[in-house]
Amino acid sequence: MDLANGSAQKMECGDDIERSRGPKRQVFCSHQHTHLSFERRMAYHGPNAIVKASLPPFNEVPGVPIADDVVKFAVPVFGPNILNSIMEIFLGPATASHFRTLAEELGVPIPPYALSGFLQKKVKKTDILLEIARKRPDCEEGPNADAIVKCERWVDAFHNLKSD
């Protein structure tokens, strides 16, 4: 996404654009930072970008460079740590009794700390995206093909988890 001049515009890595002139691109990265993602980001954005990134420990891979000009935020954007942090408010030893008492007084149910059956059912819809990705020439072998296999395994494992 290109946020220069306040507009969102989808652009592909291979787009033929002069990268050294014009307004600075404003980019926010929320992904695991791998060698491939580093190469793609540098190829696409080049030196003329303002880059901010979600870089909690699980997004950094040892030995993979993070450019010095990247503004780093040690906050997860998505993942189980967000849900764990939220549920800690309701279930943690420091706050649980207060929240339970307040919830009872207000008649507000505290959500169960459990897998989301809704998400487990919907996650299988990613199979369509994986099929499309598998047909791409750049996904026939190498790191993209490996990533598809890893994603399929994760989707299957998540879909088949039991809530008990």
pLDDT digits (tens, 9 = 90+) for 81-113: 667 777 777 777 777 788 788 888 999 887 777
Instruction: Tell me the Cα Rg of the chain.
Output: 21
Whether the CA torsion 133, 139, 144, 146 is positive or negative: it is positive
pLDDT at 153: 93
pLDDT at 76: 64
pTM summary value:
0.42
Q: What is the mean pLDDT of the chain?
A: 76
Mean pLDDT calculated for residue range 123-146: 92
pLDDT at 145: 93
If one compares 46 and 119, the residue with the highest pLDDT of the two is 119
Catalogue the E-assigned strands of 31-111.
49-54, 71-73
